[in-house]
Amino acid sequence: MAIKVGINGFGRMGRLSIRAGWNWPEIEFVHINETKGGTKAAAHLLKFDSVHGRWTPEVESGENQVIIDGKYLSFTEHSQPGEVPWEDLGVDIVLECSGKFRTPATLDPYFQRGVQKVIVAAPVKEEALNIVMGVNDHLYEPEKHHLLTAASCTTNCLAPVVKVIHEGLGIKHGVITTIHDNTNTQTIVDAPHKDLRRARATSMSLIPTSTGSATAIGLIYPELNGKLNGLAVRVPLLNASLTDCVFEVVRPTTIAEVNGLLKTASTQEPLIGILGYEERPLVSIDYKDDPRSAIIDALSTMVVNQTQVKILAWYDNEWGYANRMVELAQKVALSLHK
């Protein structure tokens, strides 16, 4: 019997998580909570996506319902998680995709409403298990961990690369730059924003801004805490991003060895299907709809003075992350069956 899943926040991640997980037998989507647009907008945007195209299933809207291939998902428009009757709806797991609730205190109302597990589609800094599938998902203990986060899309791109290089060569320290697509945290035209660079029009500039993806690696590899940092450059594209990784490694290496380590890891557990390896001269659009978290651009790998390593990793920052969210939900769902 499938574990019932609800979604809070039906924006980019909420909708793409349903697309990614719709046919997974272990989970059953039963409820959507979204404050904007009602069922008509929810159904329309689930069916038609400007980046990822038209979804194959038939999607319709009804009164307090979204209907997907004849299956009815209930729909509410509450502003707070604790206002949604999750237990009455039979929801076991909630995918928290609103981006608004990112602390244990603001997420606790889910558990008060009878939800067993909450998976947040954003970093949660306190009292939550930060999971990157293929890297540290083995740390999940069903009896202990009820609040989980799938980290961020960039952390999911970076962590598999760090895993391979750190375990194979040893990382002393490093810096990353993510060349990242536009997101809804930016503005179409100039508008007030606490980050004055993000206040500027998205389509007219390359916009340097912050990212916590590199420092978050310290939550996964404590020995690297304080030894990795980075920044982001937002670019006027809608899909497929790139992480530029520069590491100082412990022992001398070569381009051939670095690429060999990454290529081998991409074909073996636990990173098969999560880490990719590409030797063809591709560009960002070629990675749209790629479900993997990171795809190594092998042609761009560099080694300077034997110990400074530069690696480029492509990723579909939406679709790759949505797939990891669903895989984590599947892992959690299977644990609830036991």
- Residues contacting residue 105 through CB under 8 Å, at least 6 positions apart: none
Q: Alpha-carbon dihedral of residues 55, 59, 61, 62, nearest 10 degrees?
A: -160
Residues 214-217: contacts with CB under 8 Å, at least 24 apart = 214/158, 214/174, 214/175, 214/176, 216/123, 216/130, 216/151, 216/152, 216/155, 217/155, 217/158, 217/159, 217/162
Query: What's the CA gap between 296 and 315, in Å, rounded?
Result: 9
Of 97, 153, 157, 245, the catalytic one is 153
Q: Which residues of 271-287 are buried (b: 16+ CB within 10 A; e: fewer)?
A: beebbbbbeeeeebeeb
Spatial contact of 33 and 96, defined as CB atoms under 8 Å apart = no
Query: What's the CA gap between 303 and 258, in Å, rounded?
Result: 9
Helix (H, G, I), strand (E, B) or coil at 73: strand
- Of 163, 149, 40, nearest to 97 by C-alpha is 149
Active site residue 97: no
With 0-12 CB in 10 A as exposed, 13-18 as middle and 19+ as buried, what is 158? Answer: buried
Tokens standing for residue 139? 């740390």
For the annotated catalytic residues, the residue numbers are 153
